[in-house]
Amino acid sequence: MEVKVTSTTILTSPLSQPSEVPLTIFDRFALNIHVAVLYAFTPPTSANADIISALSKILVHFPTLTANFSTNSHGRPCLTVGGPDGGALVVEATVSSKLEDHLPLTPSPDFRLLHPGVNDAKHLLQVQLNRFQCGGLVIGITNHHRVADGQSMSSFFLAWGKMVRGVPIDPLPVYDQSWLKPRDPPLVQFNHWGTDFIPLSPQPNEFKATPVYADPSEITNMLFHYSPEFIMRLKAHTNKLSTEKYTTFETLAGYIWRKVTIARQLDDEESTMLSVPVNGRRRLQPPLPPEFFGNLVLDVYPKAKARALIEGGVVKAAGIVRKAVRAIGNDYFRSFIDLAEVYKDKNLVPCYETDGNVLSPNMEVDSWLGFGLDEIDFGGGGKLCGISLTWVPFEGLSIFIPSLSQDGGLDVLVSLLEKDAARFREISHSLD
């Protein structure tokens, strides 16, 4: 793939005077990385100038995307909006090949050419408009995860598309952090040490994590399509063996977890843990509006022994996922918020920062379903034809993505070591 950059622009912050926005405990818990995602559109599409003009206008409603990280007068982490080092990076580029030659979008190291570099990125939001020979467009966007979670960025992208098309932005994003105030007095009801954060002063042998690393060339990203018919059969198979009625996410998360465990050929008694992000907007009481912009996600950790998980079938795996996901509610989120108040002057380090780039025997399953990504429209008459991460150099990650194929269904990204990926391909659609 030959990509030629034709222009680079910095869109300055919409705020004329610097303003500080505190990082919440959920922001500080989020991954300390840029997330890079590609959105592909068939021709005809809106002109670059119209897309960039709309971005400049929509950032008025999403000012934290133009901020930079800093610390306030109390030495606590915050975002500074309107500072001299802020703004959003916009790159225009041309691609010598046709878009259809790269569809369906399956993560590839080559796709890193379609967005600005994420290592030591100066700007928290980076956009690259890639024009293909056929007139197709791929928008490569990277954003720092500690500014916004998946739901927030989906809202941003949908709003940006509306601005291009001249459609009113309603509802607007919400930044009110008063919902996240600690209780008085704060009450830490749960043990967040060793699961969410590394203990501040661990006892000998209390918390030991040995990160495992692999050469990125040994890691394979695969994309699998699961049709509505397959999902229906899978859920029917699962529900037939249980009195519970599992959701699509619970069923498919358990299914993928079990299949990955089989492909890895773990020892029977080896423990395997699934990390599942849970959105707190509706779990907090009173609930927060979906338009809350920032981070509001915590992880839950279903666990099982490899043999029990495999022999129990998908119904057991789905049941373990269901129990963990449904156990976390308002009390847990409030306890997490109060933890930040109790230890506000301490450096809280998320446990995942001790991980290498190999999660085995554990894995993570994220869902982009329900965000409305398949409704993104940048005008011009073209259609959204691809959604994908560019490349995942981490083993053990799986992401559920809404499918844009004619039959609907959903796509599942699975990242594994190549030796395990070969076995996973063989069993990826087996109900056994």
Res 239: pLDDT = 80
User: 199-258, pLDDT tens digit by residue?
Assistant: 988 777 767 778 999 999 999 999 999 999 999 999 998 888 777 889 999 999 999 999
pLDDT at 137: 98
For 160-214, the pLDDT digits (tens) are 999 999 999 999 999 999 999 999 999 999 999 988 999 988 777 767 778 999 9
Q: For the chain, list residues with pLDDT below 70.
A: 206
Structural domains of the chain in order of their starting residue, each with its CATH number: 3-178 (3.30.559.10), 216-369+393-427 (3.30.559.10)
pLDDT of residue 15: 80
Torsion of CA 210, 216, 217, 221, to 10 degrees: 110
Confidence at residue 40, expressed as pLDDT on a 0 to 100 scale? 97
pLDDT value of position 240 = 80
Tell me, what's the pLDDT at 210? Answer: 84
Collapse the DSSP code of 320 into the 3-class scheme (helix H, G, I; strand E, B; otherwise coil) and give the result: helix
**DSSP line for 384-417:** EEEEEES----BTEEEEEE--STT--EEEEEEEE
Burial class (CB in 10 A: 0-12, 13-18, 19+), 347: exposed
**Any bridge partners for residue 81, and if so which?**
19
Q: What is the pLDDT of residue 345?
A: 80
The pLDDT score that the predictor gives to residue 203 is 72
Asked whether the beta carbons of 66 and 124 are under 8 A apart, the reply is yes
Please tell me whether residue 326 adopts helix, strand or coil conformation.
helix
In 183-270, beta strands by DSSP E: 219-226
| CA torsion through residues 109, 111, 64, 195, sign | negative
pLDDT tens figures, 281-307: 999 999 999 999 999 999 999 999 999
Please give the pLDDT value at position 344.
86
Contacts of 238 (CB under 8 A, 6+ apart): 246, 251, 254, 314, 315, 318
Tell which residue, 221, 264, 217, has the closest CA to residue 361: 264
- Residue 39 φ then ψ, to 5°: -125, 120
Please list, residue by residue across 259-285, b when 16 or more beta carbons sit within 10 angstroms of its beta carbon and e when fewer do.
bbbbbbebeeeeebebbbbbbbbebbe
The catalytic residue positions are 145, 377
Q: Which amino acid is at 24?
A: T
